[in-house]
Amino acid sequence: MERGAVRTRFEGWSRVPALALIAFLLALITAASWSPAEAPGPQLRTSPAQHSDRQLYRDIIKGVASGGDYYQVAASEQRAAGYPLKPFFTFRLPTHATIYAALGEPVMIVAVWALCGGLMFAWWWRLRSALPFPMLGMAMFLIAGGLGGMLQPVTGLFHESWAGLLLALMIAVRRPDRLWPSFLAGGAALMIRELALPMILAMGGLAVIAKRWREAAGWAAIVALFAAYMALHAHWVAEVVLPMDQPSQGWSRLLGAQFALKSIAKVTFGIRLPDPLAAALLVLSLFGWASVRSGWALRVFLLLLGYGAMLALFARTDTFYWSLIAAPLAFAGLAFLPAAFDDLGKALRAVPQPAS
């Protein structure tokens, strides 16, 4: 069967490297899916009395919609609910709440759905020449599964849902000869949630490595605008924080890779699967993205690996929703496995050439 134009990194490999890679992959799957019940799991609250982040965001939006100043409202709500107000990045950027307050939650729910539909179309367009029709259909199904949590009406209250959708769109629409759609999507993600910054820096770094100076300058300009926005944000936060306000408890929780995999599964269709199976499929999907010899696949691999590492190293159990950034494309790499395993199979069947 013609598998499309996708090329893997394993074309022309010999038997020994292929065997080593397969052994490494099996070890990763085993480690990821071993006794997942013993690993910490995501939860909306760390105690029954804790105010949920989702309710906090909704209360802030309601206050802004009633005419309140964002920073005054956010400080009041965070203080009343026992949230930290120090350092300044315990306050979310005002972009999300301001837009929600102006347009209303029903409109924004429709906007999330429309963005999900646009993302599906963008990735269908990107992959249509890279995969045969059956695998293209599978990729679309897997992306839809990754978007499942986004379609819940309350999910849009989390800033990470918008950042994840926009970053996935940024990669899909990037063209070296037509960069502005990618700049627009990536810049919007960054202005909504500062956690998008590592991926924006990765996009700029890859442009520098490839000596695409115009693209690198574009990403640098976006980062510069963001830095100015964050400086203003820090200034405005300082005006509403009081000396007795509590500081953050920190984010270096080191909850591990299994927590990261559980968190991604919880916000996708992986929530319907047993934990070991979901973890194994997520590892295989990451391998699928890594196997494709393409710039867009490399960028998705960096996105999934980077935000998975962020969850494993820095997230708390009640900030598992950071995983929404990785969710849209988390399982779609499975569609590339037939091509990857086909080339690895050829490597295993290759007859070693005698030394001359």
If one compares 18 and 51, the residue with the highest pLDDT of the two is 18
Q: Per the domain annotation, does 7 fall within a domain?
A: no
Q: Per the domain annotation, does 72 fall within a domain?
A: yes
Mean per-residue pLDDT over the chain, rounded = 93
Does the pLDDT value for residue 189 go beyond 60?
yes
Q: What is the pLDDT of residue 51?
A: 76
Q: Per the domain annotation, does 101 fall within a domain?
A: yes
Q: Per the domain annotation, does 155 fall within a domain?
A: yes
For residue 157, the enclosing domain spans 53-349
3-class secondary structure, 86 = strand
Q: Per the domain annotation, does 239 fall within a domain?
A: yes
Average pLDDT over residues 142-171: 96
Name residue, tokens 């890279």: 130
Does the pLDDT value for residue 190 go beyond 90?
yes
Q: Per the domain annotation, does 185 fall within a domain?
A: yes
Number of domains in the chain: 1
Does the pLDDT value for residue 2 go beyond 50?
no
Per-residue pLDDT of 29-47, as tens digits, reads 999 988 766 777 777 655 5
The token pair at 293 is 């010899």
pTM score, two decimals? 0.94
Q: What is the pLDDT of residue 45?
A: 57
Band (1; pLDDT cuts 50, 70, 90) = very low
- Element counts in the chain: helices (H) and strands (E): 14, 0
Q: Which long-range contacts (CB under 8 A, 24 or more apart) does 23-27 make?
A: 25/283, 25/284, 25/287
Share of the chain above pLDDT 90, in %: 85
Does the pLDDT value for residue 280 go beyond 60?
yes
Band (252; pLDDT cuts 50, 70, 90) = low
Per-residue pLDDT of 55-81, as tens digits, reads 999 999 999 999 999 999 999 999 999
Q: Does residue 198 have a cis bond before it (omega within 30 degrees)?
A: no
Per-residue pLDDT of 201-223, as tens digits, reads 999 999 999 999 999 999 999 99
The token pair at 236 is 């405005």
Average pLDDT over residues 263-267: 94
Average pLDDT over residues 337-344: 96
Average pLDDT over residues 154-170: 97
Q: Per the domain annotation, does 333 fall within a domain?
A: yes
* Torsion angle of C-alpha atoms 90, 95, 98, 103, degrees rounded to 10: -140
Q: Per the domain annotation, does 305 fall within a domain?
A: yes
Find, among 243, 200, 244, the residue nearest to 220 by Cα.
Answer: 200
Per-residue pLDDT of 92-106, as tens digits, reads 999 999 999 999 999
Q: CA–CA separation, 316 vs 21, rounded Å? A: 32
Where does residue 12 fall: left (phi above 0), alpha (psi -120 to 50 degrees), or beta otherwise? left
Q: What is the pLDDT of residue 52?
A: 85
The token pair at 130 is 């890279």
